[in-house]
Structure 1
């Protein structure tokens, strides 16, 4: 158990950040799945910038690696172009 005030505060803030990161990551993964399941090019092109923005935000905050973000965006761009 933590013995210092600062350690207790760190535990609380770490938990809050963990939950926020988990929520954002799961939301992004659901958006990616939704985009991959789309059949209409028009709808996919409308959703694509939003999903890319979400992926970039995760990479900026070090929730996912920059290269993983680049690979995801590349794959989604190919998928949208192939519709």
Structure 2
């Protein structure tokens, strides 16, 4: 256990941040899964801008890596273009 007042505070802050980041990362993963599961092109096209926005925000805030966000967006757009 930490002895310094500052390190105790740091532990509290990190735990709070970890839970916050976990929530948004999980929300993003669920949105991506939902889009991948969609077979209707119209619905997928409607969902894509919101998922794209979410990925960009998470990458900007360093919750996910910017290249991961770019790769996911590319794969999702390829998935949408393949839908009939």
Q: Give the shorter-chain TM-score range.
A: over 0.9
Corresponding position of 1:78: 78
Alpha-carbon deviation of 1:39?
1.0
2:65 — aligned with what? 65
| Gapped regions of structure 2 (runs ≥ 5) | none
Number of aligned positions between the proteins = 83
Pairing 1:1-83 to 2, within 5 Å after superposition: 1-83=1-83
TM-score (norm 1): 0.92
| Structure-2-length-normalised TM-score | 0.91
State the Cα deviation string for residues 26-71 of structure 1 (Å, max 9, x = none): 1100110100010111111111011111111221121221111111
Listed as ranges, the gaps of 5+ residues in structure 1 are none
Runs (4+) of structure 1 exceeding 3 A deviation are: none
CA-based RMSD: 1.0
Distance 2:61 2:5 in 1: 26
